[in-house]
Amino acid sequence: MDTTDALHTTTSSPLTALVTGATSGIGREVTLQLADAGWRVIAVGRDQQALEQLGAASERISPRAADLLEDDLAGLVPEQLDALVHAAGISGGDGVEQTGSEEWSRMLTLNVTAGAQLARHALPALRRSRGTIVFLNSGAGTAARPRNAVYAASKHALRALANGLRVEEESNGVRVSSVYPGPTDTPMFTGDVDRSELIRPASVAAAVLTAITASPDVQLTDIHVRPRRELSW
């Protein structure tokens, strides 16, 4: 059975996913791939024009404008939910010496706290559906690099969140996965490299869908997506 077939069900209503960071990069690709496979997708982002384009791309996509740093996250979660994908995030930052508390707070709030609070509000629905939570992490979630301590700290925290939540929800049937993309051709990646060697966002999105559509008897806890040739920095 291919991924598209696995995403379809025989139930009378389509499966529903909520995707943050849906207006660009990997989140956008996840949204489009899920909609193409028959899911209803609540696409959350801040870029109104990009949200309108998503809504025009498929009648299955329901755009929702929201700022995860400020807005009420509980209001984003529908009564029926089968998958939550937290793809929103910010990169950048600098070393510890150069980073003040405001930047620390912003990075941790969007990369970690927003995902945790969305998961908290979504748990009742996901328990009913025995659904899946996917946190989009990063290679920085497993190893820090020079001048990247703040971002890496947020992604290590996101990894710990996923691991802890997985244990907490094991008896409730909710699966929790982390996807760790390597250098990916998105607006977040600003490295001075040949962009043709970067991972395509659609390839990472396919890995996210693999986690969501895994056989009911398993959960894919950690998926690492690396380029065919590792880049030198």
Instruction: Copy the structure tokens of residue 46.
Output: 């801040």
Residue 151 among the catalytic residues = yes
Residues 6+ apart with CB under 8 A from 17: 34, 39, 40, 41, 42, 81, 82, 83, 84, 85, 212
Q: What is the 3-state secondary structure (H, E, C) of 158-186?
A: HHHHHHHHHHHHHHHCCEEEEEEECCECC
Instruction: Copy the structure tokens of residue 88.
Output: 């929103």
Catalytic, out of 151, 157, 186, 213 = 151
Q: Mind telling me the catalytic residues?
A: 151
